[in-house]
Structure 1
Amino acid sequence: MSLAQTFARTRADGRAALVGYLPGGFPTVEDSITAINTMIDSGCDAIEIGLPYSDPVMDGPAIQRAAETALAAGVRTADVLRIVEAVAGRVPILIMTYWNPIEKYGVEAFSRDFAAAGGAGLITPDLIPEEADDWLTASAEHDLDRVFLVAPSSTAERIAATVAVCSGFVYAQSVMGVTGARDHTSAVAPALVERTRKVTDLPIGVGVGVRNGEQAAEVAGYADAVIVGSAMVSCLHNGEDLAAGLRALSRLTTDLADGASKPRR
């Protein structure tokens, strides 16, 4: 199923999509496959798999720690592609990645191999449209969605230029600085979404540190997708063992999915 099909379905249902994030290879390659399937079984409409990177400047402590665990175990890009292949076909699978590992792999080669694994598209937090010519060409050739980010600091001109090259959805990074679960959702997120809607008909997904169903319902009241990362990763960090972590992950995902299906407007 494509992102376009997924958002058409969730819009028809009158709800927001739930997009869950997990670093590839955390806790291990096989365990991350199990965890992603748990997330899908429990209500995720799409999945972001993080490509572990040694200098994750935008990631909060939970995601940084998970990426360090994966890298220390020897997880590399080829392993993440294997994870994509193992979970693809049920919901759209995206990779969220800093751009350096893609350049190292080769933009065309990565796009080819990612598409062959069943991937749907990339979320590229540190890539700007002006420097994305190779990616724009390769993504078009391999029918991959391009998800760029807008932020509260983005000017109207920057938002328009960004959404012009997006496909799938637009990622509204509504908190400046590093990611992470928070007690309260961002006060600037609704305004950022409103500004972005003025220049695009694409769905808009919001990442604001959501950690429970009540917050998911709040975000679902103004966005097309609720994006959750750190809270999901923390379930696996905090469990006594993998089984306990997976149970916590399932409970959290179910709660988030329920919240996303009951938007507070």
Structure 2
Amino acid sequence: MGLLEIHLRQRREAGRALLMPYLTGAITGDWVDYLRAFVDAGADAIEIGLPFSDPTLDGATIQEASHVALSRGASVRAILAGLSGLELGVPLVASTYQNLVLHDGPEAFCGALRTAGVDGLIVADLPLEEADEVEQAAADAGVDLALLASPATPPPRLAAIARRSRGFVYAVSLMGTTGERAALSASATTLAGQLCESTDRPVLLGFGISTPDQAAQAIRTADGVVVGAAIMRRILDGASPADVGAYLAAMRQALDQEREPAS
């Protein structure tokens, strides 16, 4: 069990709903300040997107954020250099696509993550059948490889994903791309419930968590939430670290209130 999973388990066992905000690395010149604002607002871990030119699972907002970051000269090495030495007090999880992992090779890629202080990895387009090499490289580097499960995943495969995932299991709330949604889909709570029944590993629900109310609803079945597009939309529209921190603080409050025992 890696540092990411230990950390998330400890917080969950203390009765805390888990909050993992997302930021596209190098989206702005002061992008590291957003990470500090996330922590101040109550983040339990932070997902750092390593921008890729063809982000097939991402919707319009994250695609735009990736384009902006790449236009500014973002690269894996530059982003990891920006993370190196940061003392944020919560684990960092890199998210990307297979192409970037294979470019350097899984062993070198995962080693670079660990050197930069990154504790987890999400490879959005990595099928279970092709995960062995990355899985081994991540384990050797001390990086937890978190796998994704969707509402269309059949039960035997769902069990395999829950068994092989490390750090947490990423429950994708719906069949589609990332992006803000008006409501949490029924498939989201069903999937989270199935995963929580099949594993004691933390289950985080993502894709479309946009409001405090949606986050509170999500943790009635999941252990926590991932919030991405709603944050990036605000940053793309000019929100400062303090602005985004206030938005996340409201979500943190809703999660905490949902976890409070009934009087």
Same fold (TM over 0.5): yes
Count of residue pairs the alignment pairs up: 259
Q: Distance in 2 between matches of 1:88 and 1:112?
A: 19
Deviation at 1:89, TM superposition (A): 4.8
TM-score (norm 2): 0.93
Aligned twin of 1:177: 176
Aligned twin of 1:8: 9
Deviation at 1:86, TM superposition (A): 4.5
* Matching of residues 233-248 of structure 1 within 5 Å: 233-239=232-238, 244-248=239-243
Matched, 1:209 2:208: yes
Q: Residue by residue, what CA displacement relative to the aligned partner does 1:158-213 show, whole Å, maximum 9, x if unpaired?
A: 11121221111000001111111111112111111122223211110000412221
Q: Distance in 1 between matches of 2:123 and 2:112?
A: 17
Matched, 1:259 2:246: no
Aligned twin of 1:196: 195
Distance verdict in 2 for CA 1:172–1:166, change over 3 Å: same
Structure 2: stretches of 5+ with no match in the other structure: none
Deviates more, 1:123-132 or 1:142-151: 123-132
Q: Distance in 2 between matches of 1:35 and 1:178?
A: 24
Distance verdict in 2 for CA 1:181–1:86, change over 3 Å: farther
Counterpart contact for 1:15–1:262, Cα < 8 Å: no
Q: Distance in 1 between matches of 2:147 and 2:54?
A: 19
Deviation at 1:222, TM superposition (A): 1.3
Counterpart contact for 2:49–2:95, Cα < 8 Å: yes
Aligned twin of 1:93: 92
TM-score (norm 1): 0.92
Q: Residue by residue, what CA displacement relative to the aligned partner does 1:133-164 show, whole Å, maximum 9, x if unpaired?
A: 21121112111101010000000111112122
Q: One-letter code of the match for 1:6?
A: H
Q: Secondary structure at the match of 1:45?
A: coil
Deviation at 1:87, TM superposition (A): 3.4
Structure 1: stretches of 5+ with no match in the other structure: none
Q: Distance in 1 between matches of 2:99 and 2:246?
A: 35
* Matching of residues 1-265 of structure 1 within 5 Å: 2-28=3-29, 31-87=30-86, 89-239=88-238, 244-263=239-258
User: CA RMSD, aligned part only?
Assistant: 1.7
Q: Distance in 1 between matches of 2:90 and 2:252?
A: 14
Q: Residue by residue, what CA displacement relative to the aligned partner does 1:14-50 show, whole Å, maximum 9, x if unpaired?
A: 231100001111023xx11111111111111100000
Instruction: State the 4+ residue runs in structure 1 displaced beyond 6 angstroms.
Output: none
Q: Distance in 2 between matches of 1:17 and 1:230?
A: 18
Q: Distance in 2 between matches of 1:198 and 1:211?
A: 25
Counterpart contact for 2:122–2:145, Cα < 8 Å: yes
Q: Residue by residue, what CA displacement relative to the aligned partner does 1:213-252 show, whole Å, maximum 9, x if unpaired?
A: 121111122111111001111121122xxxx422320111
% same residue: 36
Q: Residue by residue, what CA displacement relative to the aligned partner does 1:43-77 show, whole Å, maximum 9, x if unpaired?
A: 11100000100001111211111110111111111
Deviation at 1:7, TM superposition (A): 2.2
Q: Distance in 1 between matches of 2:197 and 2:219?
A: 18
Q: Distance in 2 between matches of 1:88 and 1:173?
A: 30
Q: Residue by residue, what CA displacement relative to the aligned partner does 1:74-116 show, whole Å, maximum 9, x if unpaired?
A: 1111012123324355100000111111100221111111111
Q: Distance in 2 between matches of 1:87 and 1:218?
A: 33
